[in-house]
Chains A and B, each alone.
Chain A
Amino acid sequence: MTKKILNSPAACPSQMLDGFLAAHGGTCERVPGVSGLRVRQVRDKVALVIGGGSGHEPMFTFFVGDGLADAAAAGNVFASPDPNTIVQTARAVDAGKGVLFVYGNYSGDNLNFDIAAEMLEEMGVPTRTVRVWDDVASAPAQRIKDRRGIAGDLFVIKIAGAATAAGLSLDEAWRVAAKARDGVFSIGVGLAGAAIPGESEPIFTLPEGEIEFGLGIHGEPGIRRMPLPGADELTDLLVDTLFAETGVSAGDRVCTCVNGLGSTTLMELYIMNRRLRQRLDCAGVEIHDMQVGSYVTSQEMAGASISLLRLDGELAGYFDRPCSSPHYRR
């Protein structure tokens, strides 16, 4: 039985939000009646609305803030929010300039956000959508729209937040966010599974000493199982996969993210980042920024992913704009 600190499994998303607002209620508030979080002050700009299943904290809900999302719709643990939650959350921050949706590319999210977008269009609220599909392990490049969204959400939301804060129109903000999405690639590795609150068994288990290469942030099985190598060798495997996938080479400018999946320590993430830096320096890749932390998690899953965001001048400009939320600021 996995031990978790909770009162009732069903109440987890809502009680988490209560606790978050107890600490950070000065800038954020709950969307009445649904599981959504919004900025208190509606801003005169395109509204960036993000969302997805709970259980990946700080993503998605805690990326509501200045220069980030205006609101987030939260589902139950690892399940997309329903269309009503998304519609209410979007309407709460719509300033009449339209709504840009950014979320991870999963069947459930796509279906529910699409229905919400149809409902909003009927209400006269224009929407555009960017689905993040950065996980190179989840489908080959020819079927890129079948890929899952994992830690790449961080970069796309950061840049979409900056683009909407800069006052871009809905179509322009969509173009910039889609460009960020098209430039970000990730791959992860799992060391140990996690359990959904209230479930006694973890989603997956791994044999002693083995890891899963390419697994998803809901425990979706990856490409292959293998013995756990040393940190440098493991990082090399991830970096080699990303280099092969992206063709990033000498002279390219990138942002990187070493993302922990929940229970992997900052110590381990920085040990990976050390090797990542060596590899990028060695390849002559220009590093614009390195992010290290647990931004898109999977409950207490052990493991990490590496993301590369290929930057041009425009994306770099938006990436560098300041942003602030309780769990992420630049």
Chain B
Amino acid sequence: MERLTAADARELLLYVADRVIESKPYLTEMDRAIGDGDHGIAMALGMGKARETLQTLEGGSDVYRLFCEAGMAMMMSMGGASGVIFGTLFSGGAKGRSPSPALDCAAFTELMAGGLSAVQRRGGAHVGDKTMVDALQPAVEAMEAFPGNDFCGLLGAAEKAARAGAESTRNLVARFGRAKSLGERALGHMDAGAASTHIIFRAMRDFCVRRGGQEDGK
């Protein structure tokens, strides 16, 4: 898979939404350990709203608009820190760009990198703060380092980096969010936002692998 068309992007985002919604109990359980247990509920709600919005956008011809609308649907419905942060992840890199009917790997990487910098501008977190940035930044860096134009490879590398980044939050003391008041008691627990970020990249990879398999079969 070398191009992500607007039709692909819509399906990809719907696929991501479904995978995150499925993960609600897992994310809730994770957040309960060091937060207040609402992360899975909020992510499922926001992804459900993004889903509704995407379903009204069938036949769209602009990849950026799809990411922007999905992100804004999350931001304007979820509430909580995760609403702003995950909404910004999808919309931040897409806002203000000229419409594009399809993205290659470089443009898609730029889109996700734009999301990362918007998230950091808004939330102020850096790698090591035990937030979703611990998964997102390595994923974006892996995409930026990926040679060639193959979405399966690109998102495979991103998924691997996001997974390692999410795992790394177990060894961190939180400097943001509710877990920051826990100090060392947060050690050993994964940050739920980082786990969500990994799930998002895993879903994007799986979507591309499936799509690639379909293309090979043609």
In the complex, the answer to whether A82 meets B176 with C-beta atoms within 8 Å is no
Contacts A76-B41, A199-B28 hold; do A82 and B36 have CB atoms under 8 A apart? no
Expressed in whole angstroms, the minimum distance between the Cβ of B36 and any Cβ of chain A is: 4
Which bracket fits the contact residues of A? 35 or more
**Does A111 have its Cβ within 8 Å of any Cβ on chain B?**
yes
Which residue on A lies nearest to B46, using beta carbons? A82
Expressed in whole angstroms, the minimum distance between the Cβ of B26 and any Cβ of chain A is: 13
**Does A216 have its Cβ within 8 Å of any Cβ on chain B?**
yes
Which residues of B are found within 8 Å of A81, using beta-carbon distances? 79
**Residues 84 to 112 of chain A near chain B (Cβ within 8 Å):** 84-85, 106-108, 111-112
**Residues 82 to 97 of chain B near chain A (Cβ within 8 Å):** 82-85
> A76 vs B45: C-alpha distance in the bound complex, in angstroms?
10
**Does B80 have its Cβ within 8 Å of any Cβ on chain A?**
yes
Expressed in whole angstroms, the minimum distance between the Cβ of B198 and any Cβ of chain A is: 20
A-side binding surface: helix, strand, loop or mixed? Answer: loop
In the complex, the answer to whether B79 meets A221 with C-beta atoms within 8 Å is no
In the complex, the answer to whether B37 meets A79 with C-beta atoms within 8 Å is no
Contacts A111-B84, A196-B38, A220-B181 hold; do A203 and B32 have CB atoms under 8 A apart? yes
In the complex, the answer to whether B42 meets A111 with C-beta atoms within 8 Å is no
Kindly name the residue among A107, A115, A137, A198 whose own CB sees the greatest number of chain B CB atoms within 10 A. A107
> A78 vs B123: C-alpha distance in the bound complex, in angstroms?
19
B-side binding surface: helix, strand, loop or mixed? Answer: helix
**Interface residue from A78, A82, A146, A198 paired with B83 (Cβ < 8 Å):** A82
> A80 vs B180: C-alpha distance in the bound complex, in angstroms?
18
**Does B78 have its Cβ within 8 Å of any Cβ on chain A?**
yes
**Does B218 have its Cβ within 8 Å of any Cβ on chain A?**
no
> A218 vs B180: C-alpha distance in the bound complex, in angstroms?
14
In the complex, the answer to whether A221 meets B75 with C-beta atoms within 8 Å is no
**Residues 45 to 79 of chain A near chain B (Cβ within 8 Å):** 53, 75-79
Chain B 119-140 interface 0/1 with A at a Cβ cutoff of 8 Å (1 = within): 0001100000000000000000
**Does A126 have its Cβ within 8 Å of any Cβ on chain B?**
no
Contacts A201-B32, A221-B182 hold; do A82 and B122 have CB atoms under 8 A apart? no
> A83 vs B122: C-alpha distance in the bound complex, in angstroms?
14
**Does A293 have its Cβ within 8 Å of any Cβ on chain B?**
no
In the complex, the answer to whether B79 meets A107 with C-beta atoms within 8 Å is no
**Residues 168 to 201 of chain B near chain A (Cβ within 8 Å):** 176-178, 180-182, 185
B residues near A (Cβ < 8 Å) are 28, 32, 34-38, 41-42, 45, 75-85, 122-123, 176-178, 180-182, 185
6 further interface pairs, Cβ-Cβ under 8 Å (given A53-B80, A107-B177): A10-B45, A80-B81, A107-B81, A111-B122, A199-B37, A220-B181
